[in-house]
Amino acid sequence: MIIPSEGHRYYTGQYWNDFESVRRHLDQRATGDPNVTWFEDLAGEGRRFERALILNCGTGWVERELHRVGIVGEVVGIDIAPHLLDDARRGAADVGLGATYVEMDVNSRPLPDGPFDLVLNHAAGHHISHINRVFHQVAERLAPDGLFVSWDYVGPHRNQYCAAIWEAAWEVNRTLPDNLQQIMSYPHLETMLADDPTEAVHSELVLETIERHFAIEHLARLGGGIGYLLLTHNEAIHAAPLDETEPWLNHIMTADASFTDANPQHTLFAYVIARKLPEGRDPADLGRWQADEDEREHSASANGGEYGPRTWLAELTYGSERPEISLGQAISARWPGATKRYNRLVEWLIGVTRRVRSARGRRRTSRKP
């Protein structure tokens, strides 16, 4: 099984959607109403799903929200992490939700038996390496009138952003006050491979694979090319008072919406509602897609888990030579305690940089967006 290391640092806390204004922006793009979440919208017209499958359910908060708005009966949740499933079981019992939780790796084990009239992928698909195999199984287990609902990261795999996305975020970042600017550091592939090789492993294939196996009824491109990059893990903007940051949050998300509308192919997140293909899928296509996936995963296994060529920005930032094992992995393997000390050093250096920028910002005349 492929799981994150105990000390992985990527994507923990301080997300862009921690901000209420960002959540309203995403709801507006997903449902057309900033006051209506996707699950509340799904509950419209008295819709109810008697049996739902939740992919990579984590702590179970999603199915509890579906239960809260009254649209699910029985739930089957699957995840690879037993401690998260324990949390999910306790949470379901607390709210009276009928739920069965199964510990499994979807890449190597078949999904629970259907039929399901709802299958939900909430930020799960971008962690799945055998995504074609899994989505094929989802289509097979979906009831004829059932729905496949996906809210997921669909941007570049392992966050290896293209120059267009990086430049757009960079330019907006420059317009922020110095003390609120993001420290833009291009995601380091070796660190991601060492910390969590599942993170965004095939995120760029999520939409393509949904289109193979389902008929899409609703597709909302949620954006993120600017907002996600500038707000996620931006310690300064998360720590600042809301009355100071709110105008800049609106400034960032307005720029994000404009960029996404002009460049829909560069959306980092998408919300999809889909159904079974009425005509089914060509067996020849199914065989070819699975053969391509098997070859891709076999090749990656021989390449340290890396897929395809690196981006121009990655090579420009870190160089084109890829050692057999990264320095961080080598140090961690030889001296496990050194990894934590290194992480604390990095956090201290970031804190120093923040304080310097904050001091500069206080000396400058306040600018308004």
* 328-350 burial: b if 16+ Cβ within 10 Å, else e: bbebbeeeeeebeebeeeeeeee
Quick check: 179 and 353 in contact, CB under 8 A? no
Look at residue 351 in the predicted model and tell me its pLDDT.
66
What's the rounded mean pLDDT across residues 113-132? 96
Look at residue 235 in the predicted model and tell me its pLDDT.
94
Structure tokens at 232: 């996620």
The 3-state DSSP composition of the chain as helix, strand, coil percent (nearest 5) reads 50, 15, 35
Q: Which residue has the higher pLDDT, 69 or 347?
A: 69
Look at residue 118 in the predicted model and tell me its pLDDT.
97
pLDDT of 329 strictly over 80: no
Tokens 């391509």, residue? 292
What's the rounded mean pLDDT across residues 203-225? 97
Pairing of strands 269-276, 214-223: antiparallel
% of the chain at pLDDT higher than 70: 83
Q: Dihedral of CA 88/37/260/369: which sign?
A: negative
pLDDT of 285 strictly over 80: yes
pTM of the model: 0.84
For 269, the enclosing helix (H) or strand (E) is: strand 269-276
pLDDT of 363 strictly over 60: no
Look at residue 344 in the predicted model and tell me its pLDDT.
64
Q: Where are the domains of the chain?
A: 16-56+106-363
pLDDT in tens, 76-109: 999 999 999 999 999 999 999 999 999 999 999 9
- Which residue in 110, 111, 95, 124 sits closest to 53, CA to CA? 111
How high does pLDDT run on average in the chain? 88
- Which residue in 186, 170, 206, 157 sits closest to 309, CA to CA? 157
Quick check: 342 and 331 in contact, CB under 8 A? yes
